[in-house]
Amino acid sequence: MKKRFTIILLLAFTVSFAQNDSIFSRLQAIYNNGTSFFNIDGYTITSQTLNYPFTEKGLKKVYRKYDIKKNEEKTKDELLPYNNYYVEKADKITESLVQNNSYYFIENHEKRITIIQFSSINKRDKEFERTLIKLIIEDKVPKENYAAMKIDSINFAGRKIKLGTGCNWTNVNTVQCPYYGEMNWSVHKDLEDAKNTVEQQFAITKSRKNGKVISEAIVDIEFEGTETKAKKVIYDFTGLTSVLASMSGGKTLTIFYVATEVRGNYMSCVLSFWNNDTITENGLAPLLEEVMKLKE
């Protein structure tokens, strides 16, 4: 019986390790001013610890900071091994898109309150959230998964791309290089999830009130050495946004939406550049040329 119990424990540990190893291959993080930002499977996750005790009084202060109303239901997740309450919200973006936000208020090992927030479009996975919460609370996210705030190079699905010091993060896995382009990406557990994510990002772009899509086409590209297709969109800004953009010479934004397999990773990626950005002879901004080529 003892030997059988040991084998069961070993199998459970092996499965858990394999699951975490898969998560770490997709997870990217940044730490800035007391807050950790994570990106995985199209989820945006933040983690912050505030110097309040996990008491009714302390929780009320934290709820106010996170704009959690008194009448919003606070539920305890009994499957988490920590004192906690969580709040779920759903905000309708369009008729077909809903942004799901989950807020977990957790008593950490120092008896302070750690807040972990998950944001995603049209999906919610409680077991996935619990797995990430445990890794964050137990400080088990490897240091190599964290990118430096000052960009010199980026980890692009397993390939190190040297960018120098002219670029900056605007979010985790979102790089902006002034006059050289911008891109955001996520690594997913499967290709379907990656495709859904870029379609959702395109739908959000179309729903914005500060401009309109003036052209849309499917084009052949080479993305990180893989021949695939991308949705190419020209977006024209209107109103005040157009005035502000034109002050710097910008008028339209060219956007590419890509979902494909790269080096065994399933990626979603949105790449863009302004009409007044630096454009190479191949018709792309330099940042975009680091990862893709237009096919004739």
What is the C-alpha to C-alpha distance for residues 256 and 245, in angstroms, rounded to an integer? Answer: 20
Locate all alpha helices (DSSP H) within the chain, ordered by sequence: 2-26, 56-65, 126-137, 191-207, 239-247, 286-289
Give the rounded percent of residues in the chain with a pLDDT score beyond 90.
Answer: 84
Q: What is the pLDDT of residue 210?
A: 86
What is the C-alpha to C-alpha distance for residues 121 and 162, in angstroms, rounded to an integer? Answer: 31
- Give the architecture (CATH level 2) of 2-145: Sandwich (2.60)
Mean pLDDT of the chain: 90
Beta bridge partners of 184: 174, 270
* pLDDT tens figures, 68-84: 999 999 999 999 999 99
For the chain, which residues make up each domain, given as ranges?
2-145, 148-294
Q: What is the pLDDT of residue 16?
A: 42
| Least reliable range by pLDDT among 19-28, 100-109, 221-230 | 19-28
What is the C-alpha to C-alpha distance for residues 223 and 233, in angstroms, rounded to an integer? Answer: 17
How would you label 179-190 residue by residue, b for 16+ Cβ within 10 Å and e otherwise?
bbbbbbbbbbee
Q: How deeply is 119 buried, as exposed, middle or buried, from its count of CB atoms within 10 A (0-12, 13-18, 19+)?
A: middle
What is the C-alpha to C-alpha distance for residues 272 and 275, in angstroms, rounded to an integer? Answer: 10
* pLDDT tens figures, 154-178: 999 999 999 988 999 999 999 999 9
Q: Which of 119, 108, 105 is nearest to 62 (CA)?
A: 105
**Higher per-residue confidence, 22 vs 47:** 47
Assigned CATH for 148-294: 3.40.1000
Give the rounded percent of residues in the chain with a pLDDT score beyond 70.
Answer: 89
Residue 1: pLDDT band with limits 50, 70, 90: low
Q: Give me the mean pLDDT over the 121-130 stretch.
A: 95
Q: Coil, strand, or helix at residue 78?
A: coil
CB 104 within 8 A of CB 82: no
